[in-house]
Amino acid sequence: MLGAVCMVAHAERADRDQPVNIEADRVEIDDQKKEAVFEGNVVLTQGTLMLKADRIIVDQDETGFQSGIAFGRPAYFRQKREGFEDFIEGEAERLEYKGKEEKVELFVNAKLKRGGDEVRGNYISYSALTEFFEVMGKEPGSSAEGSSGGRVRAIIQPRKSDAENAQTPASDSKGSDR
């Protein structure tokens, strides 16, 4: 049986309206297929979103929506959470993004961190539309267990109470006038 854990997270919505910047050692562009392949130390940024990979394939459908597949050992992404001061970070050997569905899937040795919380499995799916995570120990339709042994692992930190948050001393602002 596949283990599953679900968490809610909010990606920074303003990032969608920002330009996409990509740096790589090499790029091949096929205008007829509407596909670009970036290779070698690839870094993609869009607003607060940062993606690092060995190789990224980006394509565009007939309606203009983009999708992409990132490969790495591991491929890594980081994005600020909407309305919060923390980030969502994830890594896996393969990341797939589907622009039309606003869905990200992480395959093989997948890990996702939010604040002090962390989930690991062999497959993680996140929908930005529904803000829903699903984590499985095996890839959908696969009998392979990967390094997770077919299990999901989660670390969930205790939340501070309002009283504990009020007792946290404010940072010292002396010397910040320089």
Domains of the chain in start order, with CATH, are 4-159 (2.60.450.10)
Q: What is the pLDDT of residue 164?
A: 60
Regions of the chain short of the pLDDT cut 50: 1-10, 171-178
Q: What is the pLDDT of residue 114?
A: 85
Q: What is the pLDDT of residue 70?
A: 97
Euclidean distance between CA atoms 16 and 87, whole angstroms: 16
Euclidean distance between CA atoms 63 and 65, whole angstroms: 6
Q: What is the pLDDT of residue 167?
A: 58
Q: How many CA atoms lie within 13 A of 96 on its CB side?
A: 9
- Sign, CA dihedral 138-143-145-150, equals positive
Report DSSP state, residue 81.
Answer: B
Q: What is the pLDDT of residue 11?
A: 52
Q: What is the pLDDT of residue 124?
A: 96
Q: What angle do CA 52, 56, 61 make, to 5 degrees?
A: 130
Q: What is the pLDDT of residue 143?
A: 64
Q: What is the pLDDT of residue 116?
A: 87
Q: What is the pLDDT of residue 10?
A: 45
Count of H helices and E strands in the chain?
Answer: 1, 11
Residue 22 CB burial class (10 angstroms; 0-12, 13-18, ≥19): middle
Q: What is the pLDDT of residue 24?
A: 98
